Amino acid sequence: MQPKAKWIDDFWKFREELEEERAVSRQGEWLLLPQTLDVAESEKGTLGRADAIRFFDGLIRVAEDLEGESPRLDSMPLAGGMTGPRAHIDRQSFHESFGCLRKYDGIIFRRESDTFWARLWEHPLDYPAIEAEFDIGELSESDQLIALEGTPIVWTIGYSDEGGTRKRQSILYVRRIRSASSEEVRQSEQKIRDIVCGIAWE
């Protein structure tokens, strides 16, 4: 639980921002958890009852859905502890994360009009390889145009966590690798020619 004083400071700071920006959408980033809300600070005049009601009104509706109740701050006692939703407003605590379960690298070996086949490896020397057929719609529109035979591809499977919501994700994309420059290609071709010419063939 956060120190009370910081909670109050954050609350007022955010309220000011809200009034300035009318950024109602930011409410959606708040995390509501049913727990004891210590409003003792309000008795000291730091947090006014009317402010709290006005501010929490929209948020509590969300909490209604979660809890099946209709808690309203104006019906709650302001002295001592009360049970209700708590808004964590330390913005640093909101984050997105992706936990990778499996990442495959591979090559497209067949492209058809609405599907493609790829050969995939979790580690480069894995044996046997995985062959999979995908709908072309699994790729983004820009990747669909370049998903040709011989194109490298990456497939990542994992969980993404966003503000307490976990989603299972399958992400497929074409790997962009830096192409060799014309000069590098020329030098490499010359090197191979030199080696081949230096070999006495029968």
Instruction: Using CB under 8 A, list all residues that contact other proteins.
Output: 101-102, 105-107, 109-110, 115, 117, 119-121, 124-135, 138, 146, 148-152, 155, 157, 168, 170, 172, 174, 176-177, 179-180, 182, 184-185, 188-193, 195-196, 198-202
- Report the amino acid identity of residue 90: D
89 or 174, CB closer to other proteins? 174
State the minimum distance, in angstroms, from the CB of residue 62 to other proteins. 29
State the minimum distance, in angstroms, from the CB of residue 97 to other proteins. 17
Interior angle at CA 162, CA 159 and CA 165, nearest 5: 75
54 or 191, CB closer to other proteins? 191
3 or 127, CB closer to other proteins? 127
1 or 200, CB closer to other proteins? 200
39 or 174, CB closer to other proteins? 174
- Report the amino acid identity of residue 151: T
State the minimum distance, in angstroms, from the CB of residue 153 to other proteins. 10
Residues contacting 180, CB < 8 A, separation 6+: 188
Q: How far apart are CA 168 and CA 173, in angstroms?
A: 17
160-198 in b/e burial notation, b at 16+ Cβ within 10 A?
A: eeeeeeeeeeeebebeeeeeeeeeeeeeeeeeeeeeeee
State the minimum distance, in angstroms, from the CB of residue 173 to other proteins. 12
State the minimum distance, in angstroms, from the CB of residue 41 to other proteins. 44
- Report the amino acid identity of residue 122: E
What is the chain's length?
202
